[in-house]
Amino acid sequence: MENTSSPVRLTYADLCRLPDDGMRHELIDGEHYVTPAPRPKHQRVSGRLHLRLGTFLENHPLGRVYYAPLDVVLTDFDCVEPDLLYVSRERERRQMTEKYLEGAPDLVVEILSPSTKQVDQGVKHRLYERFLVKEYWIVDPEKETVKVYRQEDDRLQLCEELSRQGGMSVSVLTTPLLPGLAIPLDKIFD
């Protein structure tokens, strides 16, 4: 992920004026981050997670799952496009506009790529923490792991690290945000 940092803080309005070049453009504290298109493995993992979350939400209409690109505008200087995000029905009614989500989603999922790894685990983690995202999943397709962070005392605390190679039993991804959801990791990673 390239940081095109300059002494000038960019705004969401500046971001909207950029030409559509097929890249992911995000702002964190007014700094511009550009990400190339994801790799095929990233897309397979993203697609499988989206399918599992979407199917669950069809049967349990608690909210909606969205995939990138969808702008999440936190402030005029903070706009990100998470790989996946879940928004409860209540939050969606309050925060979804015709163009973007205004404010934090309930759950953010970032799938690591070589170009995004440092930002996803660093500056984005702190951003999601600051805006009180309830839960943050960091999915590593190469290591076949999922780190689950949950909001506790205004901090995103690591509460679980799941691995596909978890021994005899299959690791299962769950969340209190979606009671009854159970995603075996072997259904996410190939």
* 151: phi then psi, degrees, rounded to nearest 5: -70, 125
pLDDT tens for residues 111-167? 999 889 999 999 999 999 999 999 999 999 999 999 999 999 999 999 999 998 766
Other residues' Cβ atoms within 10 Å of the Cβ of residue 74: 21
pTM (predicted TM-score): 0.92
Give the pLDDT score at 147: 97
Class of domain 38-187: alpha beta
What is residue 56's DSSP assignment? H
Domain boundaries, the chain: 38-187
The stretches in the chain having pLDDT less than 50 are none
Query: Quick check: 146 and 173 in contact, CB under 8 A?
Result: yes
